Protein backbone atom coordinates (compact mmCIF):
# COMPACT_ATOMS: atom_id res chain seq x y z
CA UNK A 1 0.00 0.00 0.00
CA UNK A 2 1.08 3.58 -0.65
CA UNK A 3 2.21 5.41 2.49
CA UNK A 4 2.14 9.12 3.36
CA UNK A 5 4.14 10.44 6.30
CA UNK A 6 2.25 13.41 7.74
CA UNK A 7 4.31 15.75 9.92
CA UNK A 8 1.83 17.32 12.32
CA UNK A 9 -1.27 15.61 13.68
CA UNK A 10 -3.04 18.84 14.54
CA UNK A 11 -6.23 20.32 13.17
CA UNK A 12 -4.98 20.61 9.57
CA UNK A 13 -3.03 17.34 9.56
CA UNK A 14 -5.87 15.26 11.00
CA UNK A 15 -8.77 17.39 9.80
CA UNK A 16 -7.77 17.93 6.19
CA UNK A 17 -4.67 16.28 4.79
CA UNK A 18 -5.14 12.80 6.21
CA UNK A 19 -8.64 12.74 4.71
CA UNK A 20 -7.25 13.51 1.25
CA UNK A 21 -4.55 10.86 1.56
CA UNK A 22 -6.69 8.06 3.00
CA UNK A 23 -9.42 8.70 0.42
CA UNK A 24 -6.68 8.30 -2.21
CA UNK A 25 -5.66 4.87 -0.94
CA UNK A 26 -2.74 5.83 1.28
CA UNK A 27 -1.86 4.64 4.75
CA UNK A 28 -1.10 7.74 6.83
CA UNK A 29 1.69 7.71 9.39
CA UNK A 30 1.59 10.83 11.57
CA UNK A 31 4.70 12.28 13.18
CA UNK A 32 3.82 14.42 16.19
CA UNK A 33 5.21 15.31 19.61
CA UNK A 34 1.95 15.38 21.59
CA UNK A 35 2.12 12.17 23.63
CA UNK A 36 -1.62 11.63 24.04
CA UNK A 37 -2.34 12.17 20.34
CA UNK A 38 0.38 9.71 19.28
CA UNK A 39 -0.80 7.10 21.80
CA UNK A 40 -4.46 7.41 20.84
CA UNK A 41 -3.75 7.21 17.12
CA UNK A 42 -1.77 4.00 17.64
CA UNK A 43 -4.37 2.55 19.98
CA UNK A 44 -7.38 3.28 17.79
CA UNK A 45 -5.92 3.53 14.26
CA UNK A 46 -8.85 5.77 13.33
CA UNK A 47 -10.71 8.94 14.35
CA UNK A 48 -13.80 10.90 13.27
CA UNK A 49 -14.07 14.11 11.28
CA UNK A 50 -17.34 15.97 11.73
CA UNK A 51 -18.22 17.93 8.60
CA UNK A 52 -20.60 20.71 9.53
CA UNK A 53 -22.79 23.02 7.49
CA UNK A 54 -23.50 22.09 3.88
CA UNK A 55 -22.83 18.39 3.33
CA UNK A 56 -22.85 17.66 7.07
CA UNK A 57 -21.74 14.14 7.96
CA UNK A 58 -19.28 12.25 10.11
CA UNK A 59 -16.33 10.74 8.21
CA UNK A 60 -14.23 8.04 9.83
CA UNK A 61 -10.54 8.38 8.97
CA UNK A 62 -8.96 4.92 9.23
CA UNK A 63 -5.72 3.20 8.27
CA UNK A 64 -3.67 5.68 10.29
CA UNK A 65 -0.98 5.32 12.95
CA UNK A 66 1.72 7.52 14.46
CA UNK A 67 5.37 7.74 15.46
CA UNK A 68 6.65 10.15 18.07
CA UNK A 69 8.44 13.08 16.51
CA UNK A 70 11.16 12.98 19.17
CA UNK A 71 12.29 9.59 17.83
CA UNK A 72 14.00 10.89 14.70
CA UNK A 73 15.27 7.47 13.67
CA UNK A 74 11.79 5.95 13.81
CA UNK A 75 10.48 8.81 11.68
CA UNK A 76 13.37 8.38 9.23
CA UNK A 77 12.61 4.68 8.86
CA UNK A 78 9.02 5.54 7.93
CA UNK A 79 10.31 8.03 5.34
CA UNK A 80 12.63 5.40 3.86
CA UNK A 81 9.76 3.56 2.20
CA UNK A 82 7.16 6.34 2.04
CA UNK A 83 5.42 7.36 -1.17
CA UNK A 84 4.73 10.94 -0.06
CA UNK A 85 5.57 13.35 2.76
CA UNK A 86 3.53 16.30 4.00
CA UNK A 87 4.14 19.01 6.60
CA UNK A 88 1.56 20.93 8.62
CA UNK A 89 3.53 21.83 11.73
CA UNK A 90 3.54 25.63 11.75
CA UNK A 91 6.24 27.94 10.46
CA UNK A 92 8.25 27.98 13.68
CA UNK A 93 8.43 24.19 13.88
CA UNK A 94 9.40 23.61 10.25
CA UNK A 95 13.13 23.57 10.99
CA UNK A 96 12.65 20.70 13.46
CA UNK A 97 11.28 18.29 10.85
CA UNK A 98 14.34 18.80 8.62
CA UNK A 99 16.60 16.44 10.61
CA UNK A 100 14.39 13.33 10.33
CA UNK A 101 13.65 14.16 6.70
CA UNK A 102 17.40 14.35 6.02
CA UNK A 103 17.90 11.02 7.81
CA UNK A 104 15.13 9.47 5.73
CA UNK A 105 16.65 10.81 2.51
CA UNK A 106 20.01 9.28 3.51
CA UNK A 107 18.35 5.91 4.13
CA UNK A 108 16.65 6.03 0.73
CA UNK A 109 19.90 6.92 -1.02
CA UNK A 110 21.85 4.18 0.78
CA UNK A 111 19.17 1.66 -0.21
CA UNK A 112 19.43 2.70 -3.85
CA UNK A 113 15.83 3.95 -4.02
CA UNK A 114 15.39 6.12 -7.09
CA UNK A 115 11.62 6.62 -6.88
CA UNK A 116 10.90 10.31 -6.33
CA UNK A 117 9.64 11.47 -2.96
CA UNK A 118 7.57 14.65 -3.00
CA UNK A 119 7.07 16.74 0.14
CA UNK A 120 3.82 18.71 0.22
CA UNK A 121 4.42 21.83 2.32
CA UNK A 122 1.25 23.09 4.01
CA UNK A 123 2.63 26.07 5.92
CA UNK A 124 1.59 29.72 5.94
CA UNK A 125 4.98 30.89 4.71
CA UNK A 126 6.14 32.67 1.57
CA UNK A 127 8.81 30.75 -0.36
CA UNK A 128 8.25 27.78 1.93
CA UNK A 129 10.00 25.36 -0.46
CA UNK A 130 13.20 27.42 -0.39
CA UNK A 131 13.08 27.61 3.40
CA UNK A 132 12.54 23.88 3.90
CA UNK A 133 15.16 23.02 1.28
CA UNK A 134 17.68 25.12 3.20
CA UNK A 135 16.86 23.37 6.48
CA UNK A 136 17.12 19.90 4.87
CA UNK A 137 20.40 20.57 3.08
CA UNK A 138 21.90 21.97 6.28
CA UNK A 139 21.05 18.68 8.03
CA UNK A 140 22.09 16.41 5.13
CA UNK A 141 25.70 15.23 4.58
CA UNK A 142 27.13 17.00 1.54
CA UNK A 143 27.58 13.76 -0.43
CA UNK A 144 23.79 13.23 -0.43
CA UNK A 145 22.91 16.68 -1.76
CA UNK A 146 22.90 15.62 -5.42
CA UNK A 147 20.59 12.68 -4.61
CA UNK A 148 18.20 15.01 -2.80
CA UNK A 149 18.09 17.49 -5.66
CA UNK A 150 17.35 14.71 -8.19
CA UNK A 151 14.84 12.68 -6.21
CA UNK A 152 13.15 14.92 -3.59
CA UNK A 153 10.42 17.32 -4.68
CA UNK A 154 9.36 20.30 -2.56
CA UNK A 155 5.80 21.33 -3.33
CA UNK A 156 4.10 24.42 -1.93
CA UNK A 157 0.36 24.42 -1.35
CA UNK A 158 -2.47 26.70 -0.31
CA UNK A 159 -4.61 25.40 2.57
CA UNK A 160 -8.08 26.92 2.57
CA UNK A 161 -10.22 24.46 4.52
CA UNK A 162 -11.51 26.16 7.68
CA UNK A 163 -10.83 24.11 10.81
CA UNK A 164 -11.70 26.00 14.02
CA UNK A 165 -10.42 24.87 17.43
CA UNK A 166 -12.54 22.36 19.32
CA UNK A 167 -14.63 23.42 22.28
CA UNK A 168 -13.97 21.85 25.68
CA UNK A 169 -17.15 19.83 25.24
CA UNK A 170 -15.99 18.48 21.88
CA UNK A 171 -12.55 17.66 23.27
CA UNK A 172 -14.14 15.74 26.13
CA UNK A 173 -16.28 13.81 23.66
CA UNK A 174 -13.25 12.66 21.64
CA UNK A 175 -9.72 14.16 21.80
CA UNK A 176 -8.99 13.02 18.23
CA UNK A 177 -12.18 14.42 16.68
CA UNK A 178 -11.89 17.36 14.30
CA UNK A 179 -14.73 19.65 13.17
CA UNK A 180 -14.35 20.98 9.62
CA UNK A 181 -16.22 22.45 6.68
CA UNK A 182 -16.87 20.30 3.61
CA UNK A 183 -14.48 22.23 1.34
CA UNK A 184 -11.43 20.06 0.57
CA UNK A 185 -9.49 21.47 -2.38
CA UNK A 186 -5.71 21.87 -2.15
CA UNK A 187 -3.97 23.96 -4.83
CA UNK A 188 -0.38 22.75 -5.26
CA UNK A 189 2.60 24.04 -7.23
CA UNK A 190 2.94 21.78 -10.26
CA UNK A 191 6.55 22.93 -10.76
CA UNK A 192 7.65 21.58 -7.38
CA UNK A 193 6.97 17.92 -8.15
CA UNK A 194 9.63 15.47 -9.27
CA UNK A 195 8.22 12.68 -11.42
CA UNK A 196 4.51 12.14 -11.91
CA UNK A 197 2.08 14.13 -9.78
CA UNK A 198 0.38 11.64 -7.43
CA UNK A 199 -3.34 11.14 -7.92
CA UNK A 200 -4.60 12.65 -4.65
CA UNK A 201 -8.21 13.62 -3.96
CA UNK A 202 -8.49 17.41 -3.80
CA UNK A 203 -5.11 18.21 -5.38
CA UNK A 204 -5.29 21.06 -7.91
CA UNK A 205 -1.88 21.48 -9.60
CA UNK A 206 -1.15 24.94 -11.05
CA UNK A 207 1.78 26.26 -13.08
CA UNK A 208 1.12 29.89 -12.11
CA UNK A 209 1.04 28.93 -8.44
CA UNK A 210 1.98 32.38 -7.11
CA UNK A 211 -1.31 33.69 -8.47
CA UNK A 212 -3.17 31.26 -6.19
CA UNK A 213 -0.97 32.10 -3.20
CA UNK A 214 -1.93 35.75 -3.68
CA UNK A 215 -5.58 34.84 -4.26
CA UNK A 216 -5.63 33.03 -0.89
CA UNK A 217 -3.83 35.85 0.94
CA UNK A 218 -5.60 38.83 -0.60
CA UNK A 219 -9.07 37.29 -0.99
CA UNK A 220 -9.69 34.57 1.60
CA UNK A 221 -7.32 35.76 4.35
CA UNK A 222 -8.09 39.43 3.70
CA UNK A 223 -11.85 38.91 3.70
CA UNK A 224 -11.67 36.87 6.89
CA UNK A 225 -9.54 39.53 8.62
CA UNK A 226 -11.82 42.40 7.54
CA UNK A 227 -14.80 40.43 8.84
CA UNK A 228 -13.06 39.84 12.19
CA UNK A 229 -11.88 43.39 12.74
CA UNK A 230 -14.99 45.20 11.53
CA UNK A 231 -17.07 42.62 13.38
CA UNK A 232 -15.19 43.34 16.59
CA UNK A 233 -15.80 47.07 16.27
CA UNK A 234 -19.51 46.40 15.64
CA UNK A 235 -19.77 44.09 18.66
CA UNK A 236 -20.14 40.73 16.94
CA UNK A 237 -18.77 37.55 18.55
CA UNK A 238 -18.92 35.13 15.59
CA UNK A 239 -17.90 35.47 11.95
CA UNK A 240 -21.29 34.22 10.79
CA UNK A 241 -22.89 37.15 12.65
CA UNK A 242 -20.68 39.56 10.70
CA UNK A 243 -21.84 38.01 7.42
CA UNK A 244 -25.47 38.08 8.54
CA UNK A 245 -25.26 41.82 9.33
CA UNK A 246 -25.96 43.75 6.08
CA UNK A 247 -23.73 46.68 7.08
CA UNK A 248 -20.64 44.64 7.95
CA UNK A 249 -21.24 42.21 5.07
CA UNK A 250 -21.16 45.14 2.65
CA UNK A 251 -17.73 46.22 3.93
CA UNK A 252 -16.33 42.69 3.67
CA UNK A 253 -17.72 42.20 0.15
CA UNK A 254 -16.42 45.59 -0.99
CA UNK A 255 -12.94 44.94 0.42
CA UNK A 256 -12.74 41.60 -1.39
CA UNK A 257 -13.98 43.29 -4.57
CA UNK A 258 -11.21 45.92 -4.32
CA UNK A 259 -8.41 43.37 -4.15
CA UNK A 260 -10.31 41.19 -6.62
CA UNK A 261 -10.23 43.90 -9.26
CA UNK A 262 -6.47 44.20 -8.79
CA UNK A 263 -5.86 40.43 -8.83
CA UNK A 264 -7.89 40.04 -12.02
CA UNK A 265 -5.61 42.59 -13.70
CA UNK A 266 -2.44 41.19 -12.14
CA UNK A 267 -3.01 37.49 -12.90
CA UNK A 268 -5.53 37.59 -15.75
CA UNK A 269 -8.15 35.76 -13.69
CA UNK A 270 -11.54 35.28 -15.32
CA UNK A 271 -13.71 37.92 -13.56
CA UNK A 272 -16.71 35.58 -13.38
CA UNK A 273 -14.65 32.77 -11.87
CA UNK A 274 -13.08 35.11 -9.34
CA UNK A 275 -16.46 36.51 -8.32
CA UNK A 276 -17.75 32.97 -7.91
CA UNK A 277 -14.76 32.31 -5.64
CA UNK A 278 -15.63 35.36 -3.51
CA UNK A 279 -19.28 34.31 -3.33
CA UNK A 280 -18.26 30.82 -2.24
CA UNK A 281 -15.97 32.22 0.47
CA UNK A 282 -18.76 34.42 1.84
CA UNK A 283 -21.05 31.39 1.93
CA UNK A 284 -18.37 29.44 3.83
CA UNK A 285 -17.77 32.35 6.24
CA UNK A 286 -21.50 32.26 7.05
CA UNK A 287 -21.35 28.64 8.26
CA UNK A 288 -23.02 28.85 11.68
CA UNK A 289 -22.05 25.28 12.59
CA UNK A 290 -18.32 26.09 12.41
CA UNK A 291 -18.75 28.52 15.30
CA UNK A 292 -15.67 30.48 14.21
CA UNK A 293 -15.13 33.50 16.45
CA UNK A 294 -14.10 37.05 15.66
CA UNK A 295 -11.40 36.71 18.33
CA UNK A 296 -9.83 33.62 16.73
CA UNK A 297 -9.93 34.89 13.15
CA UNK A 298 -8.53 38.29 14.11
CA UNK A 299 -5.85 36.89 16.44
CA UNK A 300 -2.32 38.34 16.19
CA UNK A 301 -3.00 41.68 14.50
CA UNK A 302 0.71 42.53 14.61
CA UNK A 303 1.28 39.85 11.97
CA UNK A 304 -1.95 40.46 10.09
CA UNK A 305 -1.28 44.21 9.84
CA UNK A 306 2.28 43.58 8.62
CA UNK A 307 3.57 45.49 5.58
CA UNK A 308 3.15 42.58 3.14
CA UNK A 309 0.43 40.58 4.85
CA UNK A 310 -3.24 40.25 3.90
CA UNK A 311 -4.54 43.75 4.66
CA UNK A 312 -1.71 46.20 4.05
CA UNK A 313 -0.27 43.98 1.32
CA UNK A 314 -3.68 43.71 -0.31
CA UNK A 315 -4.19 47.48 -0.12
CA UNK A 316 -0.81 48.02 -1.79
CA UNK A 317 -1.67 45.63 -4.63
CA UNK A 318 -4.98 47.44 -5.13
CA UNK A 319 -3.26 50.84 -5.35
CA UNK A 320 -0.68 49.40 -7.74
CA UNK A 321 -3.48 48.53 -10.16
CA UNK A 322 -5.40 51.78 -9.85
CA UNK A 323 -7.96 50.65 -7.27
CA UNK A 324 -8.61 52.80 -4.20
CA UNK A 325 -8.87 50.31 -1.28
CA UNK A 326 -11.31 52.25 0.89
CA UNK A 327 -12.92 49.18 2.42
CA UNK A 328 -9.63 47.33 2.91
CA UNK A 329 -8.51 50.41 4.84
CA UNK A 330 -11.70 50.20 6.89
CA UNK A 331 -10.51 46.72 7.88
CA UNK A 332 -7.04 48.07 8.75
CA UNK A 333 -8.55 50.90 10.81
CA UNK A 334 -10.75 48.39 12.64
CA UNK A 335 -7.73 46.16 13.21
CA UNK A 336 -6.09 49.01 15.09
CA UNK A 337 -9.07 48.92 17.48
CA UNK A 338 -8.98 45.12 17.96
CA UNK A 339 -8.62 44.95 21.75
CA UNK A 340 -9.15 41.31 22.74
CA UNK A 341 -7.82 40.94 26.32
CA UNK A 342 -6.32 37.45 25.93
CA UNK A 343 -4.62 38.28 22.61
CA UNK A 344 -1.14 39.48 23.58
CA UNK A 345 -0.42 40.95 20.14
CA UNK A 346 -3.70 42.88 20.15
CA UNK A 347 -3.01 44.29 23.59
CA UNK A 348 0.54 45.21 22.58
CA UNK A 349 -0.86 47.30 19.72
CA UNK A 350 -3.27 48.99 22.13
CA UNK A 351 -0.39 49.78 24.49
CA UNK A 352 1.66 51.19 21.61
CA UNK A 353 -1.26 53.39 20.54
CA UNK A 354 -1.78 54.60 24.09
CA UNK A 355 1.88 55.48 24.51
CA UNK A 356 2.91 56.65 21.03
CA UNK A 357 -0.23 57.12 18.93
CA UNK A 358 -1.67 55.58 15.76
CA UNK A 359 1.05 56.93 13.46
CA UNK A 360 3.73 55.10 15.44
CA UNK A 361 1.90 51.78 14.97
CA UNK A 362 1.30 52.41 11.27
CA UNK A 363 5.03 53.00 10.80
CA UNK A 364 6.49 50.38 13.15
CA UNK A 365 4.01 47.56 12.48
CA UNK A 366 2.79 48.25 8.94
CA UNK A 367 5.66 50.35 7.52
CA UNK A 368 3.20 52.97 6.28
CA UNK A 369 4.70 56.40 5.76
CA UNK A 370 2.77 59.52 6.74
CA UNK A 371 3.08 60.88 3.20
CA UNK A 372 1.47 57.84 1.58
CA UNK A 373 -2.00 57.40 0.13
CA UNK A 374 -2.59 54.45 2.48
CA UNK A 375 -1.88 56.64 5.50
CA UNK A 376 -4.49 59.12 4.33
CA UNK A 377 -7.11 56.42 3.64
CA UNK A 378 -6.59 54.67 6.98
CA UNK A 379 -6.91 57.90 8.94
CA UNK A 380 -10.02 58.75 6.97
CA UNK A 381 -11.58 55.41 7.89
CA UNK A 382 -10.48 55.75 11.53
CA UNK A 383 -12.56 58.92 11.74
CA UNK A 384 -15.55 57.20 10.09
CA UNK A 385 -15.63 54.10 12.31
CA UNK A 386 -15.08 56.23 15.43
Average confidence (pLDDT) per 10 residues, the chain, 386 residues: 96 97 98 97 97 90 98 98 97 94 98 97 90 97 97 97 86 92 96 97 95 95 98 98 98 98 98 98 96 96 96 98 98 98 97 97 97 97 90
Q: What was the pLDDT predicted at 91? A: 87
Q: What was the pLDDT predicted at 65? A: 98
Rg (alpha carbons) of the chain, rounded to whole number: 22
Buried b (16+ CB within 10 A) or exposed e, 292-318: bbbbebbbebbebbbeebbbbbbbbbb
Q: Where are the domains of the chain?
A: 2-207, 210-385
299-312 pLDDT, tens digit each: 999 999 999 999 99
213-250 pLDDT, tens digit each: 999 999 999 999 999 999 999 999 999 999 999 999 99
Per the CB < 8 A criterion, the answer to whether 47 and 176 are in contact is yes
Alpha-carbon distance 248 to 227, whole Å?
7
Alpha-carbon distance 227 to 220, whole Å?
11
Q: What was the pLDDT predicted at 164? A: 84
Q: What was the pLDDT predicted at 9? A: 97
Alpha-carbon distance 217 to 9, whole Å?
24
CATH topology for 210-385? 1.10.1040
Per the CB < 8 A criterion, the answer to whether 41 and 119 are in contact is no
Q: Which of 191, 183, 230 is nearest to 210 (CA)?
A: 191
Alpha-carbon distance 64 to 203, whole Å?
20
Q: Which of 121, 93, 91 is nearest to 17 (CA)?
A: 121
Alpha-carbon distance 211 to 378, whole Å?
27
74: exposed, middle or buried (Cβ count in 10 Å: 0-12, 13-18, 19+)? middle
Q: Which of 107, 78, 88 is nearest to 17 (CA)?
A: 88
* Domain 210-385 in the same topology as domain 2-207: no
Q: What was the pLDDT predicted at 296? A: 96
Q: What was the pLDDT predicted at 280? A: 97
Give me the CATH code for the 2-207 domain, please: 3.40.50.720
Amino acid sequence: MLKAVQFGAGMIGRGFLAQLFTESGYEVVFSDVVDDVVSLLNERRSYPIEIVGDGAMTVNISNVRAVHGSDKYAVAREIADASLLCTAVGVNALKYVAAPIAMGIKLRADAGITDPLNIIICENLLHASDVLRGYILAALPAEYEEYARKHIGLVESVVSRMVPPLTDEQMAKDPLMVVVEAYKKLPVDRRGFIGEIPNIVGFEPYDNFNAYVERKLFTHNLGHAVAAYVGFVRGHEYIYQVIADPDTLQIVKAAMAETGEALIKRHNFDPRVHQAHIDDLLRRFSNVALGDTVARVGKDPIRKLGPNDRLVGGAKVALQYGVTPVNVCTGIAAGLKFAVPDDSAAMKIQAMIAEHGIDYVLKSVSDIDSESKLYELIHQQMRIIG
